[in-house]
A and B are shown apart, each in its own frame.
Chain A
Amino acid sequence: MAAPLSESAAPTGRSDRVPTDNPALWPEDAPWQQVSPRLAWVRRAGMLTFLVPIVAAVAATATWTDVTLLPWGIAVAGLGFLGWGLAVVTRSVQAWGYAERADDLLVRHGILVRRLSVVPYGRMQYVDVKAGPLERALGIATVQLHTAAAASDAAIPGLPTVEAARLRDRLAALGEARAAGL
């Protein structure tokens, strides 16, 4: 049963003090698992295919036409963005985590904006496993959960294929066993 949240009902004083420590947003004792570091390569490839052509085109424009300053500025900004993306990609992949608890699945991700989803097994409508060509080459896949609420559709990318299949089957079995009406 739910432990009553003692201070939730009682209004407390409006403290203006910003705490110096940053408390954990999610349960630390859950059996957290990380996703495959190979996901970083998918992310890097995505960034490169998106930004490199743009930077190249802009640089070409600047080289062979009279306009110079603005295109070069854009190119430098693009490269800077790319460099920043490449720098944080490892940490961003490490930030992904999921935990199978007794009654629900936890999924967390994000560095800049941190998010945690708690999806009860009984609420899952169906589970998708998706893998693009590059993901298949790297042997990883994305598990997508669907509930009746669009906002709670959580996804776990970068799962090794075997783990993705195991998770899908387990979630489907648990969802069947605990299905709750709407």
Chain B
Amino acid sequence: MHPLSPLIRGARGIGVVGALVSYQAWGSAGWRALAIAATVIVLGWFAVAWVAWRFTGFRVAARELHVRDGILSRRQRTIPLERVQAVDVVRPALARLFGLAEVRMEVVGGGKDAEAPLAYLTTAEAERLRVHLLRLAADAGAAASQPTVPMGDLTETAPAPVTTAVGGLFRVNHRLLIFSQLLTFNTLSAPFLLVIPILEFTSEDPSSAAVFTFVSGIVGLIQVPVRRLLGEWGFTVGRDADGLRVHRGMLDVRNQTIPIPRIQAVRIRQPLLWRPFGWVRIEIDVAGYGQGGEQENGRSALVPVAPAAEAFAVLHAVLPTVPSAGPDALELRPAPARARWRAPFQYRRLAYTVTDTALVTRGGWLTARHDVALHARAQSVRISQGPWQRGLGLASVHLDPAGGHTTPTVLHQEAAHAARVAADLVDRARANRAPATAEAAHSADPAPAADGQSAERPTASGSSAAEGARGA
């Protein structure tokens, strides 16, 4: 780790401690006592951060990443690289001043602790590590599915050149981003709520508790749009050999790399107020995201906001199964008319279709939504039928991708049809994930996978990787 790491880590807490100390001690102690206390705390903080830094280290060995940290209770973690779903290079505002960055790996399973932030490295070092880890992860994934292939010593694999060609797919329009966030329910309702504390404040007997409650409520309301605005400022998506490259952020800059075969599901959302303008937001689900709490609900935007045609063109380039004219261009099968008794508001929009690689569902009333789940990623298929549905002879089918943030659901189809859809989804999921293992079992000579990158992680990719290649 970079020697400046303890300084930055320490600085993070100082603001909080400083505020706390000054608030507590205001008036009760003299300036001198306060200054001494603050100095002691700050120095202590830095000392702890420095000792922690001394004990923190990592190394990449074979197909594993070893991380050790902790002062009193030492911890050593071993992360098998084939479980790495995505690698992010994050540059918090303060670290940027010093040219430092943090490498974060999204690991599937194991909750929050499994995520391994390596903080801080120089930006160039972080970038090199990112490329190296992704290559190793791709190799490890390929090796895990084809144990017969001799892999050679992975530690000696030369890191690929840092500058890889990034094919630009999308760049967010800042004016559109601002307007779209202004046109959310949260932002629009805030002024109405603001009236109450103003009235209270200007009244003859202002109650500070009431004002505080409402102000904190408003802050909570506009937090989401503000976070989106800051987090998705300067949002660009491109693709290179490793997958999707997302660059975003105003204060904290984040460079995400998402291998395309790791995409589990896609959500397309169109809030009511965006519809007159034809704006669309597309998010992708990657298993592992969201466990660290920094990613919103485990998703990552693919297109924060864009006119529909542009957004769908980007999606089509990533997932060719969705036509560039949007999912509605597919022939969707609507829910039967009697579904209106069960879902009176959204039944007109309820529809779905099954393509060769994905399930596409449509629904929603105020917010129009489409969900796409890939057969190759399906963890399980479920059917459910409530009492109302049984009375109407309807049933719903759910397809669960890993992570489970988005569960595309075929809502309220005829029961017999739903049963057939479920059977079909099960078959397609098996067919989509089978080829690699079948190949490995049947082919007499091992596939020419020695150079790793071209091996293209057979099990994990399935048909989506093949599609991805075609889309490029």
Contacts and interface: CB of A to CB of B under 8 A. Distances in A.
B398 A3 contact: no
Interface stretch (A64-72, A116-124, A155-163): A116-124
Given A2-B428, A14-B336, A113 B385 contact: yes
Contact of B380 (A14, A112, A118): A118
A146 to B, nearest CB: 9
Interface string A122-156: 11010000000000000000000001111110100
A3 B334 CA distance: 21
- Residue among A16, A19, A25, A122 having the largest count of chain B Cβ atoms under 10 Å: A25
Contacts of A11: 331-334
Most buried by B among A8, A26, A123: A8
A123 B384 CA distance: 20
Nearest to A118: B381
Interface in A168-182: 178, 180-182
Interface in B314-339: 331-334, 336-338
B126 interface: no
Interface in A13-59: 14-19, 22-27
B195 interface: no
A74 B429 CA distance: 50
Contacts of B422: 116, 118
B382 A117 contact: yes
A181 B459 contact: yes
A103 B431 CA distance: 11
Interface residues of B, number: 64
A23 B415 contact: yes
B437 A178 contact: yes
Interface in B357-404: 377-387, 390-393, 395, 398, 400-404
Contacts of A104: 426, 430
A149 B83 CA distance: 15
Contacts of B403: 148-149
B431 A112 contact: no
Contact of B390 (A24, A114, A151, A180): A114
B108 interface: yes
A178 B332 CA distance: 33
B415 A151 contact: no
B109 interface: yes
A77 to B, nearest CB: 20
Contacts of B332: 11
Contacts of A25: 383, 385, 395, 415, 418-419
Nearest to A9: B331
B457 A120 contact: no
Interface residues of A, number: 47
Contacts of B426: 104, 118, 120
Contacts of B353: 8-9
A10 to B, nearest CB: 7
- Quick one: which of B379, B391, B414 has the most chain A CB within 10 A? B379
Contacts of A151: 380, 382, 398, 400, 404, 407
Given A113-B384, A148-B109, A15 B337 contact: yes
B427 interface: yes
B232 interface: no
* 4 shortest interchain CB distances as A-B pairs: A152-B380, A148-B402, A2-B427, A14-B337
9 contacts: A3-B427, A8-B333, A9-B353, A10-B331, A19-B414, A24-B419, A114-B385, A148-B379, A182-B287
Given A147-B400, A154-B380, A182-B402, 16 more contacts: A1-B431, A2-B428, A8-B333, A8-B354, A10-B331, A11-B334, A23-B393, A23-B419, A25-B385, A114-B384, A116-B384, A118-B381, A120-B430, A152-B404, A180-B437, A181-B144
Interface of B: 82-83, 85, 108-109, 141, 144-145, 262, 287, 331-334, 336-338, 353-354, 377-387, 390-393, 395, 398, 400-404, 407, 414-424, 426-431, 433, 437, 457, 459-460
